[in-house]
Every structure is written in C-alpha cells, then in structure tokens.
C-alpha cells in the first residue's frame, strides 16, 4: 500500500496497534538497493507490520549538495517493497512533512539538534547542520508512525550512533536496531549515490574498502597506534580519489583514541568523480 499523507498512515496503522501488533519502521530516501532490502528483511523477521518511508529529506542537505539531483525512483521502490513483504510505503511530499512554502521559511521550523561532540567530526564536519536535519525528520517519522522498532544501517554509522543518542536523551519509545553494512561483491559499499558513478569511478571507489580492510589487517597484526594505522592509507590514494576524512574512533561514542581496540571503528569519506562516498569497518570483528 502506498501512502502519501500523514493522517492516512496513522489511520492505516491504528487497528494493528489496537491489536497489539508490533510495527517496524525502515526510514529511507529511496533508490532502494540490497542494503535497504537487508533492513527490510530484518524488520520483517522482528515485526508484525513493516512500514518503509521513502522521503528525500530537504533539510538534511546543504545548499551545495545533491538534493535536487538525488535519485527518485518511487515506482521501482514501491515494487521492490511489495515484493519483499512491506505492508506500507510512506512517501510524503516535502509540503506534507514541513508545510507549504517551507523552503522559503525553513528558519521557522523546530529542529532536533544532537550534541556537538557527536556532530563536529566525520560527516558532520563538512555537512554542517546535516544531523540536525536527520534527527528532525527521524523524530517526525517516529511521531507519525510510532513504531516499536526502527531499523538503520551501519553504512551510516555516525547517523546510527546519533539516532540512538537522540532516542535515549529524548525518551522516545522505540527500539533502534542497527543492521550490518551490505557490499557489492567487489567490496564497494552499496549506496544510492553509486548511481552517479561511471564504471571507472566504481573501480576507483574500491579504494575506500581497500584502505579500511588494510587498516583492519594491520590492527589484527598488532598495530594499535591510531596515527600509524591511518598512515597506512596513503599508499592506496591517487589523484582520482579525494580524501575527506579517515578517522578511527570508539564505535559506540565516537570518542577519539590514540590506541585502537576491538571496539574501534575506522571511518572514511572520499570524493570520486565528484561523488561523496562513505564507508566504515569495525576493527575487532
């Protein structure tokens, strides 16, 4: 079932909630791929009803980012969702979510702002305000669907940590389930933005995973010094890959470390063919 209005989603879910059925929410921006489908599969295994939201959230994009060109493939997304047993696809318009004319007056919106020490690093550093936009829309989706469980991918590990923090700090009655990062056979992390890459670009983009795998290998061989682990990346970089960040932080708190341990995660962001790609790996697994 395709639902575009907030009121309709509430009306649709109400009888299931009255019957004490568990509701799972999988928030997405669409252009669905196997990474999203793995979240849906986990949601199906844990919940009586599964709602997938497909919403390209304007307030999480910076002024020079790809909001207008972000792939929008609702017909295909809807088909994939029904084939995979999703009960409802919720795809509101920006006006439905934020009110008519919000673009002109988005300084007139109540935002949910996660703490600075979670957002002043990694993607938050270059994407100022991004996680305010993410937390605001996810909070709204939680208020609209009131799910028992919500599913997020470790692909966006900083986002997952920040959402967990928001839910804890604001006592939101939902359980956040983190799901493993899904890769192409080549090792490239699946992402809706991979659609922007040429075949050559996709090959170049493998550098991200190679760097992460090598860091993990070095860690397993006994190197724990974070600076030394980060140094190992430079042999992989070339002119086609622009490194934005490479960091090793605590996987739960994003605290900085001088020595890596089994609970550390390496995070990387690079631009390939002007497409911003992110990836991460847990060192201890």
Distance CA 21, CA 36 (A): 23
Per-residue tokens: 187? 């090792």
Tokens 């002007």, located at residue: 274
Backbone angles phi, psi at 247, to 5 degrees: -140, 155
Among 192, 194, 264, 280, binds ligand AMP (CB under 6 A): 192
Interaction of residue 155 with ligand AMP, rule CB under 6 A: yes
**Shortest CB 46 distance to ligand AMP, Å:** 15
Taking CB under 6 A as the criterion, the residue among 88, 92, 153, 275 binding ligand AMP is 153
Closer to ligand AMP by Cβ: residue 1 or 160: 160
Whether residue 30 contacts residue 71, with contact meaning beta carbons closer than 8 Å, is answered with yes
Q: Which stretch binds ligand AMP (CB under 6 A): 68-76, 150-158, 168-176, 247-255?
A: 150-158
Candidate list 36, 49, 140, 265, residue with the active-site label: 36
d(C-alpha 40, C-alpha 134), whole Å: 20
The answer to whether 29 touches 54, Cβ cutoff 8 Å, is yes
**Per CB under 6 A, does 206 bind ligand AMP?**
no
Judged by DSSP in three states, 65 sits in coil
- Touching ligand AMP, residues 2-41 (CB under 6 A): 28-29, 35-36, 38-39
Q: In the chain, what is the straight-line distance between the N-terminal and C-terminal CA atoms, in Å? A: 39
The C-alpha atoms of residue 275 and residue 285 are separated, in whole angstroms, by 29
Report in angstroms how near the CB of residue 29 gets to ligand AMP at its nearest. Answer: 4
Nearer to ligand AMP, 36 or 49 (CB): 36
Pairing label, strands 241-250, 264-272: antiparallel
33 is catalytic: no
Which of 156, 204 has the CB closer to ligand AMP?
156
Residue 46 touching ligand AMP (CB under 6 A): no
Q: Which residue is nearest to ligand AMP (CB)?
A: 153
Q: Measured from the CB of residue 159, what is the shortest distance to ligand AMP in angstroms?
A: 6
d(CA 87, CA 103): 31
As measured in angstroms, the least distance from the Cβ of 43 to ligand AMP is: 11
Two tokens at 263?
Answer: 């609970």
Residue 265 binds ligand AMP (CB under 6 A) = no
Considering only CA atoms, which of 239, 232, 201, 227 is closest in space to residue 217? Answer: 232
Contacts with ligand AMP, residue ranges (CB under 6 A): 28-29, 35-36, 38-39, 152-153, 155-156, 179, 181-182, 189-192
């Amino acid at each position: 079932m395709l639902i575009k209005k907030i009121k309709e989603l509430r009306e649709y879910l109400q009888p299931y909630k009255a019957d004490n059925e568990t509701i799972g929410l999988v928030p997405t921006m669409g252009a669905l791929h196997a990474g999203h489908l793995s979240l849906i599969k986990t949601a199906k295994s844990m919940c009586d009803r599964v709602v997938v939201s497909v919403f390209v959230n304007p307030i999480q994009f910076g002024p020079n980012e790809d909001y207008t060109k972000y792939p929008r493939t609702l017909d295909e997304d809807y088909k994939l969702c029904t084939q995979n047993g999703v009960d409802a696809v919720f795809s509101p318009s920006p006006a439905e979510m934020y009110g008519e004319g919000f673009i002109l007056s988005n300084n007139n919106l109540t935002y949910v702002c996660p703490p600075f020490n979670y957002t002043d690093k990694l993607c938050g550093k270059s994407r100022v305000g991004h996680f305010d936009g993410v937390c605001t829309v996810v909070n709204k989706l939680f208020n609209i669907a009131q799910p028992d469980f919500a599913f997020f991918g470790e692909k966006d590990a900083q986002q997952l940590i920040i959402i967990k923090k928001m839910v804890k700090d604001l006592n939101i009655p939902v359980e956040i389930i983190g799901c493993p990062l899904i890769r192409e056979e080549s090792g490239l992390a699946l992402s809706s933005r991979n659609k922007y890459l040429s075949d050559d670009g996709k090959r170049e983009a493998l550098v991200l995973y190679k760097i992460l795998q090598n860091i993990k290998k070095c860690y397993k061989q006994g190197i724990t010094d974070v600076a030394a682990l980060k140094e190992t990346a430079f042999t992989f970089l070339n002119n086609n890959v622009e490194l934005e960040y490479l960091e090793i932080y605590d996987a739960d708190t994003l605290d900085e470390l001088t020595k890596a341990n089994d609970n550390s995660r390496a995070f990387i962001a690079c631009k390939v063919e002007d497409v911003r790609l992110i990836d991460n790996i847990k060192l201890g697994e």
